Amino acid sequence: MLSFDLSVETLLNLNRSEVSRFCDNVLDIDSFVEELDKVSFDHVLNRKGFCDFAGIAPSTLSGWIKDGRLPLLAKEAYVLFRSFNILKGEISRLKHETQDPQIVETDNGFQICSFKQDEDGSVLGKVIASGIKSIKTARHLASTTKAMRLLRESIHLYDHEIETMDEEDSAWISDLKNRVMALLFYATDYETWQKLHGERGKAQLRKLVEECLEEINSDEEVGGKYIVELFEDRISGNTLAEILVSVLKKLQERDSKFLENLSSKGGRLRRIVAKSPELLYPGSEHLAGYSQEVVPTWWVATNNSRQAVHRILKTACDVSGIKYGNDMKVHF
């Protein structure tokens, strides 16, 4: 890891005479290799990329790593690359900000205005909305453009998450991506969106209502949409999260070490159970809201598809030493 965070503020505070010393101190061979091998959705410079950027052969880089040394020129090249991307991102951000709608207070309330430069460099303003009574409403309207841009930029993040997760686990992210894309389409090309989603959306809504009515009628008979038989117990729940929590709680009652043993299971990006909601999602703590407490101090992830719940219950059976399909029967 870099010993000093590279940021716009850091770069602006650097004097020309300090650049070489800064580059020499900011990373060593170990942190350099760690940076090149880092895996993240926005990471763009790997070992091959650095060799291409610096104009060196891969064997040269391999030699540096083998010898445990990193020449100053290599450090400067890496910091130059990172600095270029940081400054490019900042310029892009400032450019967008100048184009984003601004709030203007008037005698009658507030206006939303946009500003742009003409060919001569003069700033021209245009009123988008006027007569807005409250600053809160004005802020909501003014933030719409930025929000839509951020949603558009988030699409590649969804794709990255989908590629790194199991098919069952990624179902909810795929659904979220589709909803975001539909919203973007609605805002940017409403006529086409209406043709594609209008009547179909109404038909889907009617179908959903009919399915809900059928589920309500069936639930009155069996006590819940989701049923699990565990030995002699019949456990029911109206949601996947509810049935999952109920089953895990029953298994914990049978063996006080069950949840602790189950906590070692799960993928690299998500645990099945953990001591806190944040620990369920390593590196994605913002998803902690998708969780529910099983027993005090133990939490389970709840954004699971039907297939993912089946897989979790199979794993729970393995940890408990019981037979899935025999001692535990899942009816959904």
pLDDT tens profile 89-147: 888 777 766 677 888 998 888 998 888 777 777 778 888 888 888 888 888 888 887 78
Same domain assignment for residues 19 and 86: yes
Residue 317 pLDDT greater than 90, yes or no:
yes
* Domain end (from 70, 97, 124): 97
Same domain assignment for residues 310 and 320: yes
Total structural domains within the chain? 5
Task: Report helix, strand or coil for 122.
Answer: coil
Same domain assignment for residues 90 and 55: yes
Q: Is residue 125 part of a domain?
A: yes
**Contact indicator for 29, 64 with CB cutoff of 8 Å:** yes
Q: What's the CA gap between 248 and 47, in Å, rounded?
A: 45
Q: Is residue 1 part of a domain?
A: no
| pLDDT, position 266 | 73
Same domain assignment for residues 161 and 258: no
Same domain assignment for residues 252 and 262: yes
Same domain assignment for residues 249 and 175: no
Same domain assignment for residues 237 and 325: yes
**Contact indicator for 197, 182 with CB cutoff of 8 Å:** yes
| pLDDT, position 245 | 92
- Mean pLDDT highest for which of 56-65, 185-194, 260-269? 56-65
Q: Is residue 135 part of a domain?
A: yes
Mean pLDDT, range 249-254, rounded to an integer: 92
Residue 223 pLDDT greater than 60, yes or no:
no
Q: Is residue 268 part of a domain?
A: yes
Chain mean pLDDT for the chain: 79
Same domain assignment for residues 79 and 159: no
Q: Is residue 3 part of a domain?
A: no
Domain that holds residue 162: 143-188
* Domain end (from 97, 132, 164): 97
| pLDDT, position 204 | 53
**Contact indicator for 102, 115 with CB cutoff of 8 Å:** yes
CATH code (residue 243): 1.20.1380.10
Residue 248 pLDDT greater than 90, yes or no:
yes
Same domain assignment for residues 109 and 136: yes
Q: Is residue 174 part of a domain?
A: yes
Q: Is residue 320 part of a domain?
A: yes
Same domain assignment for residues 153 and 122: no
Q: Is residue 93 part of a domain?
A: yes
Same domain assignment for residues 199 and 173: no
* Greater pLDDT, 10 or 317: 317
| pLDDT, position 253 | 92
| pLDDT, position 63 | 93
Q: Which two tokens stand for residue 285?
A: 């703590």
Same domain assignment for residues 293 and 311: yes
CA-nearest of 261, 243, 242, 239 to 322 is: 261
Mean pLDDT, range 186-206, rounded to an integer: 61
Which pLDDT band, with edges at 50, 70 and 90, does 10 fall under?
A: confident
Residue with tokens 């509810």, as numbered in its chain: 242
- Mean pLDDT highest for which of 1-5, 61-65, 301-305? 61-65
Bin 109: left if φ > 0, else alpha if -120 < ψ < 50, else beta.
left
